[in-house]
Amino acid sequence: MIAVCEFCHKHGEGEKWYLQAQNYSEDLLSDLSRRRYIQDFFREPHKKEANIARLDDLNRLPAFVRSAVKPVIVNRQKKSHYGQVLPLEDIEEIFGFVNSIVRLPCVCRHVTVGSEQRYCYGISMEPGEETELGRLIESIGADYLTGPHTGGLESVPADKALEQFREMEKRGLIHTVWTFVTPFIGGICNCDLDCLAMRALSKSYRSMFRAEYVGEVDADLCNGCRACIKSCQFGAIRYSLAGEKVTIDPLKCYGCGICRIQCTKNAIFLRNRAEMPAAANLW
Ligand code: SF4
Ligand code: SF4
């Protein structure tokens, strides 16, 4: 079996699942239970925060209980709202076939930071500025989404959205793609520890797959400046005093690729995870 993530096998016939147009289809969005899920998702952000806080309680339980409970939680999440890290070049491919990109306030930051942070993008196959996904979100009527003191939904052309993603990379945010009742894909987000999914991950609960890639450093190009180290949210980049260069630990790397934007020497590149024996089956 080719080393790709579980969703690629289940929802992409062995190819990257998030590059399959059928996973963004209007047919999937017309499903009533999925529509209800999406409405509840935006209506009840504080419930999600409470769920993440409960993970601390679970982590205090004996190890044998944790090991029984964790897979149940993660599998339930995989069926409803699950994500994957992906690099900018794959987002560019997605933007090449979807017909609408809408920027909206981040539901996680609404509860964790308490302010509007426009880091999330709804994507749809439906052409035009007024999409069913947009209408569905607006119909929720949550103040932080549509109220008088928010920017509301904003249609963004693909090139401008990519520019915004690049800017967010410079600030250390990783890109993630999300299902809303799997396999329907409704959005791409820009994440750090203000995101509830990243908080779950930091508490050892899988909320997303690693990328289909792993970062690597070309030792011939690296000058040891260390500019890349701080950008890695996963602590995967190490500096060797002896070698005066950095290396990336494939067991820690999530393959987001954002460290590349900090490197003026173009010394960091992404390799397919399948080509890296140490990390090929690490999701
Ligand atoms: S930013 Fe580039 S040159 Fe500097 S340490 Fe990182 S990989 Fe090496
Ligand atoms: S080392 Fe890996 S996880 Fe860290 S920023 Fe680079 S690509 Fe992302």
Coarse DSSP helix, strand, coil percentages of the chain, rounded to the nearest 5 percent: 45, 15, 40
Which residue CA neighbors atom 6 of ligand 1 most closely? Answer: 228
Pick the CATH number of 213-274 from 3.30.70.20, 3.40.50.300, 3.40.920.10, 3.30.230.10: 3.30.70.20
**DSSP one-letter code for 208:** E
> In 3D, which of 168, 169, 167 has the Cα closest to residue 228?
169
Question: Is the Cβ–Cβ distance between 18 and 94 less than 8 Å?
Answer: yes
Q: Are 211 and 273 in contact (CB under 8 A)?
A: yes
Which are the contacts of 89, defined by CB distance < 8 A and separation ≥ 6? 257
* Contact between residue 237 and residue 202 where contact means Cβ atoms under 8 Å apart: no
Q: At what angle do helices 63-80 and 45-59 cross, to 10 degrees?
A: 160
CB 153 less than 6 A from any atom of ligand 2? no
Q: What is the pLDDT of residue 77?
A: 94
Are 77 and 208 in contact by the 8 Å Cβ rule? The answer is no
Instruction: Say which amino acid occupies 225.
Output: C
Q: Return the percentage of the chain with pLDDT > 90, whole number.
A: 69
The larger pLDDT score, comparing residue 152 to residue 267, is at 267
Instruction: Compute the C-alpha angle 122/74/72, nearest 5°.
Output: 140
For position 136, what pLDDT does the model report?
Answer: 84
Confidence of residue 50 (pLDDT cuts 50, 70, 90): confident
Condensed to tens digits (0 to 9), the pLDDT of residues 86-137 reads: 999 999 999 999 999 999 888 888 888 888 888 999 999 887 777 888 888 8
Tokens standing for residue 96: 């090449």
Nearest-CA residue for ligand 1 atom 8 is 222
Helices first, then strands: H and E counts in the chain = 11, 11
Where along the chain do the CATH 3.30.70.20 domains lie? 213-274
Smallest CA-to-CA distance from 142 within 36, 43, 48 is with 43
pLDDT of residue 130: 77
**Sign of the Cα pseudo-torsion (156, 159, 161, 163, in order):** negative
Beta bridge partners of 238: 247
pLDDT for residue 1: 57
Ligand 2 atom index nearest CA of 174: 8
Nearest CA to ligand 2 atom 5: 232
Question: What spacing in Å lies between the alpha carbon of 260 and ligand 1's midpoint?
Answer: 9
Please count the other Cβ atoms lying within 10 Å of the Cβ belonging to residue 72.
Answer: 9
Q: Comparing C-alpha atoms, which of 8, 166, 156, 161 is closest to residue 82? A: 8
d(CA 262, CA 236): 15
Q: What is the pLDDT of residue 3?
A: 73
Phi, psi of 94 (to 5 degrees): -60, -45
Given a cut of 90, is residue 171 above it in pLDDT?
A: yes
Helix (H, G, I), strand (E, B) or coil at 101: strand
CB atoms under 10 Å from CB of 8, counted, come to: 21
Residue closest by Cα to atom 3 of ligand 1: 222
CB 25 within 8 A of CB 125: yes
Q: Read off the DSSP letter of residue 15.
A: S
Chain position carrying tokens 């994957």: 84
Distance CA 256, CA 258 (A): 6
**Using a 6 Å cutoff on CB, does residue 227 contact ligand 1?**
yes
Is the minimum distance from the CB of 216 to ligand 1 under 6 angstroms? Answer: no
Mean pLDDT is highest, among 22-36, 40-54, 213-227, for 213-227
Q: What is the pLDDT of residues 220-273, one digit of tens each?
A: 999 999 999 999 999 999 999 999 999 999 999 999 999 999 999 999 999 999
Distance 106 CA to ligand 1 centre (A): 31
- The confidence score (pLDDT) of residue 212 equals 97
pLDDT in tens, 194-208: 999 999 999 889 999
